[in-house]
């Protein structure tokens, strides 16, 4: 079993993978990415991930000849070569390598396609059993958060702030006082048995896990409002949970200094998580 990389058509051990210092991903963060986890060895929700990737590429006018089908084959081959039971696949596509000029390079420059395949590390079990703490911080990101861009400076600053505060995640609050999402997760709150999560649009990433959880919740007969909430509404929620590819659905028990509910992951969070996992097992 070994960590695998793929760079522009070639598989290799991760440690041997290199790209040019003139890659526009390195110089300008001019690229997009996807993160896919496996369940029972199979890439989970691959189709929506590939659709989102194609959309991100389209929005940035990066044209990739391989297409979603070709990428799916590369992912399958990477997983096979790694030999791990469960893997985390990171896929990054940049506008390619060219002398550093801000404008797009000539069309003859091919995009750089990079993939890494590593053993999947889920958060520790106690995060799900006890729940986690989050802080709130300003959402400093750009106005196209719907594009899964590799430019993550505002996200990493927020996550670092959370980490230094001993918290799992930072909830991002925009200039209008609305909670958009976490630095690398989507955010939900529960009040009076109904769910709230920010609406799809330029302020959030259209998270695959968020979309699946919305469907799971509706399947359980719950009302889901895709509307913004204020930080105060999050702090006063009955339950709060985070969602993401590696996070799945994880209960939040404190937002800043405010204890959520009884200070343990709430009943709806637990039911949703169980239903999400059961649905994945049945795939």
Q: Residues interacting with ligand PDD, by CB under 6 A? A: 35, 155, 181, 184-186, 205, 207-210, 244-246
Residue 64: CB partners within 8 Å, gap ≥ 6? 57, 93, 111, 113
- Of 169, 219, 178, nearest in space to 196 by CA: 178
- Of 80, 61, 55, 67, nearest in space to 146 by CA: 55
Residue number, 82 or 149, with CB nearest to ligand PDD: 149
Q: CA-CA distances (angstroms) from residue 208 to 123, 175, 244, 272?
A: 18, 25, 7, 15
Taking the complex as a whole, how short is the minimal distance between the CB of residue 200 and ligand PDD, in angstroms? 11
Residue number, 50 or 253, with CB nearest to ligand PDD: 50
- Of 235, 242, 227, 233, nearest in space to 261 by CA: 235
Is there a contact between 18 and 72 (Cβ–Cβ < 8 Å)?
no
Is there a contact between 41 and 84 (Cβ–Cβ < 8 Å)?
no
Residue number, 131 or 206, with CB nearest to ligand PDD: 206
Taking the complex as a whole, how short is the minimal distance between the CB of residue 102 and ligand PDD, in angstroms? 25
Residue number, 30 or 181, with CB nearest to ligand PDD: 181
Residue number, 14 or 35, with CB nearest to ligand PDD: 35
Q: Of 118, 143, 148, 271, which is the active-site residue?
A: 148
Report the 10 Å Cβ neighbour count for 196. Answer: 21
Taking the complex as a whole, how short is the minimal distance between the CB of residue 153 and ligand PDD, in angstroms? 12
Residue 215: CB partners within 8 Å, gap ≥ 6? none
175's tokens:
């200039």
Taking the complex as a whole, how short is the minimal distance between the CB of residue 203 and ligand PDD, in angstroms? 10
Taking the complex as a whole, how short is the minimal distance between the CB of residue 107 and ligand PDD, in angstroms? 29
6's tokens:
């793929």
Taking the complex as a whole, how short is the minimal distance between the CB of residue 175 and ligand PDD, in angstroms? 17
Report the 10 Å Cβ neighbour count for 238. Answer: 17
112's tokens:
């750089």
Residue number, 97 or 172, with CB nearest to ligand PDD: 172
Q: Is 191 a catalytic residue?
A: no
Q: Which residues are catalytic?
A: 148
């Amino acid at each position: 079993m070994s960590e695998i990389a793929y760079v522009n058509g070639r598989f290799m051990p991760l440690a041997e993978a290199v790209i040019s210092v003139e890659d526009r991903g390195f110089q300008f963060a001019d690229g997009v990415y996807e993160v896919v986890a496996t369940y029972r060895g199979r890439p989970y929700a691959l189709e929506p991930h590939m659709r989102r990737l194609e959309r991100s590429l389209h929005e940035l006018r990066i044209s990739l000849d391989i297409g979603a089908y070709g990428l799916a084959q590369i992912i399958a081959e990477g997983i096979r070569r790694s030999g791990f039971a469960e893997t985390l696949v990171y896929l990054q596509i940049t506008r390619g390598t060219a002398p550093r000029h801000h404008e797009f390079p000539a069309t003859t420059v091919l995009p750089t396609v990079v993939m890494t395949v590593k053993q999947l590390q889920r958060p520790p079990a106690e995060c799900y059993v006890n729940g986690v703490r989050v802080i709130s911080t300003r959402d400093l990101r750009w106005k196209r958060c719907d594009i899964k861009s590799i430019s993550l400076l505002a996200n990493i600053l927020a996550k670092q702030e959370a980490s230094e505060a001993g918290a799992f995640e930072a909830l991002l609050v925009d200039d209008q006082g609305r909670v958009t999402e976490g630095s690398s997760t989507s955010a939900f709150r529960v009040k009076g048995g109904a769910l709230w999560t920010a609406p799809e649009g330029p302020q959030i990433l259209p998270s695959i896990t968020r979309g699946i959880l919305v469907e799971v919740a509706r399947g359980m007969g719950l009302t889901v409002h895709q509307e913004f909430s204020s930080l105060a509404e999050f702090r006063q929620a009955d339950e709060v949970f985070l969602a993401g590819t590696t996070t799945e659905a994880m209960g939040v028990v404190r937002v800043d200094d405010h204890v959520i509910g009884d200070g343990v992951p709430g009943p709806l969070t637990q039911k949703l998580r169980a239903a999400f996992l059961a649905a994945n097992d049945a795939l």
